[in-house]
Structure 1
Amino acid sequence: MKNRQREAGILMPVFSLAGEYGIGSFGKEARDFVDLLQETGNRIWQVLPMGPTGFGDSPYQSFSTFAGNPYFIDLPTLKEEGLLTEEDLMVERESFSSCKDKIDYGLLYTRRFPTLRKAYENWKIQGGDVDSLLATRSKESFDYCLFMALKGKFDGRSWLKFPKEYRNKEASAIERFIEENKDEIAFYAFMQQQYEKQWKALQDYAHEREIRILGDIPIYCAMDSADVWGNRKMFDFSWKGRNIEEESACDAEAKGYPGFVAGVPPDAFSETGQLWGNPLYDWEAQEKDNYAWWCRRMEYCFSRFDLLRVDHFRGFEGYYAVPYAAKTAINGEWRKGPGLALFEAFQKYFNKKELPMIAEDLGVITEGVRDLIRAVGCPGMKVLQFAFDSDFENVYLPHMYEDNNSVIYTGTHDNDTLKHWFETVSEDSRNRIYRYLSRSHNDWNAMTELLIKKALSATSFLAVIPAGDYLELSAEGRINAPGTDEGNWQWRMEKNAFTEEKKAVMREMLRTYGRFA
């Protein structure tokens, strides 16, 4: 990606789009956002992971990395296809009339699936063939549909608490379940079919307007996912080096729990680290299989996105393992990852030397991680909010960038909004900002725009600005606060938030810094 044309994009989760049905979708508001990108000279729409979310509603903890979130299915489009009625839409609009600025996931869970089930029943009435639908699913997609039907049978419990024959995916039990629950499995397949059709239409709409979509692939899979349930041999469920009381360890191992889980040590986001709880990969087993599972996973992502941000890239060089029973991520250990071998497997699988990837290289970055990024050749990330907590040789300061092979952000989905960050940052950091921007202390109200301009002026070939920063939102526009359990992934943009005046300012800034396309 070196020596590419200077471009700009906006970070905007699909779930944060405006709309009348409780959560952003692939409908009119998504097309309007594509139009906004085109009108303002942006060429990249960055989204967050789009899999079906489980407990905690985090897009980084999905029931499957090979499936899409059915909440994103646009209901008016289903009406146009004769699968829902205007009365169905009216009931949905009334149900979510108070959810214009924040997502109520509990209400979504109780309301949306019955409505989608109506669409499924109407699809069958119109001649939809269940057997053909199931036959067209990929193995990973079918596993997801089967997995969700099993969760429904067992009251939403984690697969770790399924009866043994289903937990261990015994062939006779699974075959019997499929035969007896084909219609329920097909319901999930129907939702995936609609998701894929609508996403493809939106993607085509974006491409017609020369807008590319930057996706996001989490490095880890959720513990309670079809990925782990269906491919346990690809994950590390061993208890070597266990670090908890022996009897508990033996009991947990017998039930299929891993000995260690994923996380990161204490950092700027959390004093106790981040305990993600995801199972770790058995990289030795993956290597013996030529990383086939990971290759299929990347193939799925590349078929749906033009570019791909690879989350927690440093975990491929070395990853942090936390004892399963730990309460925080303080007492973990670093282990060696697959390194360059994984990416060489990708290159061989896709028959390409360079793949359209961006490395999320934030956090504890060693020289080994830097060497891996250089060997792979993909750009890394620079975050302006990280630039002012030390001296003027901070690697996130734009004058420290060695070349243009990077993507600069004012902040990521894990950062506060630029406005609220500046209002709450330490006095020392704020003074560094003033000195760096050569501004006086009376520029408080202009700081959001000035910092955006500083990001756009950087040498990085791509600058991505969160929508909340362009809108100059305060704390209410934050997407996620790592280390907290409530209030995350809920922000929704107001309808018509980007005024003509705001769009004119954005166009001018992108033209000024050579990023208008």
Structure 2
Amino acid sequence: MTSSSADDLFSARRAGVLLHPTCLPGAWGILGESARTFVDFLGDCRLSVWQTLPIGPTHPDLSPYQSLSAHAGNPHHIDLSELVEADLLKEAELTQPSPDARHQLLTMAAERFFNREGAGLNGLDLAGYQHFRDTNAYWLDDFCLFCGIREIQAAPGWLHWPQPLRDRDYGALQSFIEQNQLRLARIGFEQFLFNHQWQTLRDYARGKGIVLFGDIPIFVAHDSADVWANRHLFKLDEQGESTVIAGVPPDYFSPEGQHWGNPLYDWDAMAVDGYQWWLERLESQRHLFDLIRIDHFRGLQAYWEIPARTPEPRFGYWVPGPGDHFLEACFNRFPDLPLVAENLGVISDEVEQLRNRFRLPGMTVMQFGFDGSPENPHLLHNHHSRDLVYTGTHDNDTTLGWYQSLDEHTRRYVYDYLGATGEDMPWPMIDAAFRSVCSLAIVPLQDFMGLGTEARFNTPGTVINNWIWQLDWNLCRSDLSNRIAETVQRHGRLP
């Protein structure tokens, strides 16, 4: 069975951090000085992996797992202050940050970009833009159209657009293109800028010996360019409404189950052209990241299908996924595909067998290990070298918050197992994760900083106060980076 180029990254012990870029402070964007400052901090810590969540444009709820596109970057990440040196904006124009100001400044920068003559700075020129458009036309054209129509329509969701636009009538789309050329050019320019700043950051990180680790949600948002432009690949009715919905069945963690709202793929339709839509998705992510996690990997073996007419999760049923046939197509196209499988939750033997047939690294989470069973796969003595170990994930409370919420019996079990008291928590958990045989140990930045529940990034099943935590640079002190660096070195995680 073909193996992924994750082999190269997992051939040595490494340590990394989990932090979504939106957590970085930056008045005019984060992909410039703010991101470079964070990379410098990681270098001081001797950490060699920066893991993010999906980096696409979000809906108003800010969830990176419900993006407007499976390919595009979030234009809010663009650092507008970087455009001053490129002579696309003036310092005096960067006054009071706001969403309206960002939109106006990006519009102004786009007009100057398309009107100027001669070469731009560091590849920010018309030739570079045209190369970007040509290379990414397979998703960019539809994305620009989708976002352009959203900006004009009173109801942003495509299901509620006038029928000709909803159903992609050729004449209606051509008329829109002719009447909105500047708007569409600006949206394409934003994606060009995002890519330029991201690739510059990636090169900067590589220069520090740091690789970027990204995340692909297995499902996509219904209100996205992907579904609007590819309705035949999803289980939808003639009006574009979902006939079945993604989710998970009732279990110990969620007695009612979960209704995610995502449309489900028509895997038979996707198989007709060899899963080209997915291969293109992987292609765009390979250009952004050195390592890629597939969220909810178990959905490739079997997924929970909930009928739209009876949306309670308990009325769902398991449907076989594309499994080996799909993964073989992926690795035939990209023999060195650097994939990691998110295999958390209630995982069947069949899911693990599928993962192991393709030698995909899986995940263990220290917080999940203390249910009292010595067979718990998240306990240190059950770890495997090719897997990843985390203290917690973006969906968990911080390790300090988790520890403080434990009952006394479980807390004592944690003491006994780690061989440490909780006085310095979360460091006993961090130290244990770094001792693990897992090749890659990842710690959320909030855990390195010893923060409590107030720094939790997301609480599944809720919609308030998620995705908004911000880093305070004052916490990135030299004594912290020295402590992290010493821990990395002590446990042999300097690749």
Q: TM-score, normalised by structure 2?
A: 0.92
Contact 2:23 2:470 in 1 (8 A): yes
How far apart, CA to CA, are the structure 1 residues paired with 2:372 and 2:309?
Answer: 35
**Residue 191 of structure 2: aligned partner:** 192
How far apart, CA to CA, are the structure 1 residues paired with 2:48 and 2:287?
Answer: 19
How far apart, CA to CA, are the structure 1 residues paired with 2:392 and 2:310?
Answer: 30
1:379 equivalenced with 2:369 (yes/no): no
Percent of matched pairs sharing the same residue: 39
**Residue 392 of structure 2: aligned partner:** 411
Change beyond 3 A, Cα 1:269–1:151: farther
**Residue 114 of structure 1: aligned partner:** 104
1:355 equivalenced with 2:332 (yes/no): no
5+ residue gaps, structure 2, are 1-5, 118-124
How far apart, CA to CA, are the structure 1 residues paired with 2:68 and 2:253?
Answer: 26
1:320 equivalenced with 2:304 (yes/no): yes
| Aligned match for 2:20, one of 10, 13, 24 | 13
How far apart, CA to CA, are the structure 1 residues paired with 2:106 and 2:453?
Answer: 34
How far apart, CA to CA, are the structure 2 residues paired with 1:326 and 1:31?
Answer: 49
Contact 1:380 1:406 in 2 (8 A): yes
Contact 2:422 2:428 in 1 (8 A): no
Per the TM alignment, residue 268 of structure 1 is displaced from its structure 2 partner at its CA by 6.0
Contact 1:134 1:186 in 2 (8 A): no
**Residue 478 of structure 1: aligned partner:** 456
Residue deviations 1:340-368, cap 9 Å, x none? 11111011112x1x521110001120011
Change beyond 3 A, Cα 1:20–1:269: farther
**Residue 490 of structure 1: aligned partner:** 468
How far apart, CA to CA, are the structure 2 residues paired with 1:210 and 1:397?
Answer: 30
| Aligned match for 1:451, one of 424, 429, 432 | 429
Contact 1:228 1:235 in 2 (8 A): yes
Contact 1:269 1:483 in 2 (8 A): no
How far apart, CA to CA, are the structure 2 residues paired with 1:271 and 1:428?
Answer: 24
Contact 1:267 1:363 in 2 (8 A): no
**Residue 120 of structure 2: aligned partner:** none
Contact 1:133 1:189 in 2 (8 A): no
Secondary structure of the corresponding residue to residue 431 of structure 2: helix
1:128-277 mapped onto 2 (5 Å cutoff): 136=134, 137-237=136-236, 253-267=237-251, 270-277=254-261
Per the TM alignment, residue 324 of structure 1 is displaced from its structure 2 partner at its CA by 2.1
Structure 1 stretch displaced more, 390-399 or 336-345: 390-399
How far apart, CA to CA, are the structure 2 residues paired with 1:395 and 1:371?
Answer: 15
Contact 1:455 1:463 in 2 (8 A): yes
How far apart, CA to CA, are the structure 1 residues paired with 2:265 and 2:306?
Answer: 13
Contact 1:73 1:194 in 2 (8 A): yes
Alignment RMSD (CA, Å): 2.0
Contact 1:274 1:482 in 2 (8 A): no
**Residue 365 of structure 1: aligned partner:** 347
How far apart, CA to CA, are the structure 1 residues paired with 2:273 and 2:194?
Answer: 31
Secondary structure of the corresponding residue to residue 496 of structure 1: helix
Secondary structure of the corresponding residue to residue 425 of structure 2: helix
Per the TM alignment, residue 135 of structure 1 is displaced from its structure 2 partner at its CA by 5.5
Letter in 1 for 2:390: Y
Secondary structure of the corresponding residue to residue 26 of structure 1: coil
Per the TM alignment, residue 269 of structure 1 is displaced from its structure 2 partner at its CA by 5.2
**Residue 409 of structure 2: aligned partner:** 428
Change beyond 3 A, Cα 1:254–1:348: closer
Secondary structure of the corresponding residue to residue 272 of structure 1: coil
1:304 equivalenced with 2:288 (yes/no): yes
Per the TM alignment, residue 122 of structure 1 is displaced from its structure 2 partner at its CA by 2.7
Aligned residue pair count = 479
Residue deviations 1:195-240, cap 9 Å, x none? 0111111111111111110011111111000000001111112xxx
| Aligned match for 1:467, one of 445, 450, 464 | 445
| Aligned match for 2:273, one of 267, 281, 289 | 289
5+ residue gaps, structure 1, are 96-107, 238-252
Contact 1:393 1:400 in 2 (8 A): yes
**Residue 278 of structure 1: aligned partner:** 262
Residue deviations 1:390-442, cap 9 Å, x none? 322211101012x3010000011111111111101233321220121133xxx
Contact 1:40 1:516 in 2 (8 A): no
Letter in 2 for 1:410: T
